[in-house]
Structure 1
Amino acid sequence: MTNQEIPKAAYAVVGGSGTLSSNFPAGLPDEDVEIISDNMHFETPYGMSPAMRLFRVGKKRVLTVRMHGWRSGVTRADASRQVFWTFREAGVRRIISEGGVGTVNKLLDLRDFIVPDDYLDLSVRKDVMLDGRYLLIMRDALCPELRQALIRATKKRFTGRVFTRGTYAVTDGRHFESPAEVAMMNGHADIVGQSIAPEVYLAREIGACYAGLYFTVNYGEGIREKWSHEDMSNIFYDDAPMIGEIIIETIRQVNADERHCECRELRKETLLKDVYNEVSSKG
């Protein structure tokens, strides 16, 4: 259904491949988790939004979208703008993203968790913004406060290896990277995926805290002689409920009203506002 009024929510989850198979959060047993509204679509300046779900964790209201809003017939840039414009209108202040990633660092194995503290944007989706009013300072682009909550929740729910920092290299996809591309990234990044940009920019633009939880599901080409698609499939289906539990536990831990980070202050009014106004007036 199409909803004209966007519901208020202080929290958002950008679902990726980690929770896709679990119908997050419908399959979780937690008594304080309840779906309030489902299959909501909203008119945005960038087209109709993807389907969104509103749920609560205790009294905290959360908007979530599946697979970063990506879908056939919509560019990934527009999908991201639709999602984050809706988040802005909803008043979202804390955003958790998740996804499956490939390894670039040879020390990583399958089913390792990484909560990165930096990113390397190798995509060509540039200037994906909502209105250009802000200069975005990308220091601490992944919110330190939200990252620490994710790390605590992951260690509470997962007995394997959890890496508390690392660099996420983002490429356009939809194909995986070649051995030469992985070799180029090695030493500069630890994991590779396709979603952290432009989300990290759009989150900063709307003044929200943003952090991500990433699960290694395949070896980057050349890291190992071969990797199995069956391994990736097993991770995709078997571990989705655990990833959902980690996200819910993180939401329980963080307060949207009391933020002790610089995320909102690291966006500044652009000095080029006259240029942007002139461009906007010309369409």
Structure 2
Amino acid sequence: MIAVIGGTGMNQWPGLLIDESRGIDTPYGTPSGPLHLGRWNDQPLIFFARHGEGHKIPPHAINYRANLWALYSVGVRSVISISAVGGIHESMGPAQLAVPDDLIDYSWGRKHSYSDGPPDALKHVEFSDPYTPRLRAILLRAAADAGIELMDGGVMAVTQGPRLETPAEVRRLRRDGCDMIGMTGMPEAGLARELGLEYASLAVSVNWAAGLDEGEIHAQIEQSVTHGMARVRQILALALPVLSAEAP
């Protein structure tokens, strides 16, 4: 089963036919919202709103452990994360897309592991490829087939939020080698790895990071979300049939 986790700009999914909205109780508390089981373009999938119904839960307050466990408990094995990001790399201007291949976690205070000590088993998961190469390849191929240029690879900086970064912080992230900035990629990716789930991100730049452009950031976001998310849906329309046919 395939799940798409929607973030900023994709809290709703036009054309998604929902057969069932299922609330899940987990050992780690309550997820952000129900799992929407349905079909899109005749492809079965589960859609999940990371920030909850109405986009009300800030990044640092999301119960990532409950979210990923809920998906795992209903048979999901592949997760595509849709993430709105701020662009640092020159290829990541507003409305541009990327399929990152690495990340740096700058968040703090989040429940980031299922290994909390006894009675839970201790897991030192391998994380050299935070984003599953097979899943990345499918997204990249779908983008190429759709004629959509995007950034192949790149380092995602995961910041705490919900405030945006200062120009000095962005300069630091650039020195660290980051190409884009999001607020929700961790511990989501790490938890997926602990559960043995495939995980990849389709990142949409909705603004230049602070200090890299003279425009007003929120105006850039409003102008970029609609165009960027339309291209995301074009890619998913081609990627989902391949994922269904090549399920791990």
Q: TM-score, normalised by structure 2?
A: 0.86
1:94–1:256 CA contact under 8 A, matched in 2: no
**1:153 counterpart (129, 133, 142):** 142
* Structure 1 counterpart of 2:100: 116
Is residue 38 of structure 2 the alignment partner of residue 64 of structure 1?
no
Q: TM-score, normalised by structure 1?
A: 0.76
Change (3 A) 1:195 1:111: same
* Structure 1 counterpart of 2:8: 17
Counterparts of 2:59 and 2:142 in 1: how far apart (Å)?
Answer: 33
Following TM superposition, by how much is the alpha carbon of 1:68 offset from its aligned partner in structure 2, in angstroms?
Answer: 4.5
Following TM superposition, by how much is the alpha carbon of 1:221 offset from its aligned partner in structure 2, in angstroms?
Answer: 1.1
Letter in 2 for 1:112: Q
* Structure 1 counterpart of 2:211: 222
Following TM superposition, by how much is the alpha carbon of 1:142 offset from its aligned partner in structure 2, in angstroms?
Answer: 0.3
Counterparts of 2:70 and 2:199 in 1: how far apart (Å)?
Answer: 15
1:24-39 map, 5 Å = 24=13, 27-28=14-15, 34-38=17-21
Following TM superposition, by how much is the alpha carbon of 1:255 offset from its aligned partner in structure 2, in angstroms?
Answer: 4.3
Counterparts of 1:258 and 1:170 in 2: how far apart (Å)?
Answer: 29
1:203-242 CA-partner distances (Å, limit 9, x unpaired): 1011010000011111111112334422311222344333
2:2–2:46 CA contact under 8 A, matched in 1: yes
Letter in 1 for 2:35: M
How many residue pairs match? The answer is 240
Change (3 A) 1:81 1:151: same
RMSD: 2.5
Q: Secondary structure at the match of 1:234?
A: helix
Letter in 2 for 1:89: S
Q: Secondary structure at the match of 2:20?
A: strand
Following TM superposition, by how much is the alpha carbon of 1:74 offset from its aligned partner in structure 2, in angstroms?
Answer: 8.3
1:42-75 CA-partner distances (Å, limit 9, x unpaired): 2222333212211135775322211354865788
Change (3 A) 1:117 1:131: same
Q: Which stretch shows the higher mean deviation, 82-91 or 235-244?
A: 235-244
Change (3 A) 1:183 1:76: closer
Counterparts of 1:218 and 1:74 in 2: how far apart (Å)?
Answer: 19
Change (3 A) 1:241 1:106: closer
Q: Secondary structure at the match of 1:17?
A: coil
Q: Which runs of 5+ in 1 are unaligned?
A: 1-9, 260-283
1:173–1:194 CA contact under 8 A, matched in 2: yes
